Amino acid sequence: MKKKSAANAVPLFVAFALVAGCGSSPSRTATDDASIKQELLRGVHQIRAEHDRKKLSAELARLLVRLGRARGSTVGERARVLAMQGFEATIKGTRSQLDFSENDSGEVAAATRDAQRADRYLTLGANRLRAAGQALGIQIGKLNQH
């Protein structure tokens, strides 16, 4: 009968260690959920505080990049996706507000269209951000009349 050497056990041990190491640890997931919560609150604060629409769009775009890198628990992931959708809709609404103020002077039909689009996107964004907050146990009220 052939004896198995320790050299034969090494690949099996390495394979087991790799499989056992896959997945995220609970502490890392909790940290990522906290990071998602922090980014959500930062974005909500920016929406409420920043009145320069171009600046707000740029800040929310940077926030989206940070949120795109975060990973969380199942609840955290749901909140992250909702927050990203909310910030994307808010950016679209902000762009529509800019279109309204920059391009529509004297054009009643275009101004009406841009104002309606802005309201629709800003309302959608606010609703998604409130849903993200709710998933994380945060209550988010009105966001600039939406």
Q: What is the DSSP string of 65-111?
A: HHHHH----HHHHHHHHHHHHHHHHHHHHHHHHHHHHHH-TT-HHHH
Domain ranges of the chain: 28-135
Return the DSSP state at 22. Answer: -
Higher pLDDT, 120 or 13: 120
* pLDDT tier for residue 72 given thresholds of 50, 70 and 90: confident
| CA 11/CA 49 separation, integer angstroms | 57
**Tens of pLDDT, residues 13-69:** 444 444 444 444 555 566 688 899 999 999 999 999 999 999 999 999 999 999 998
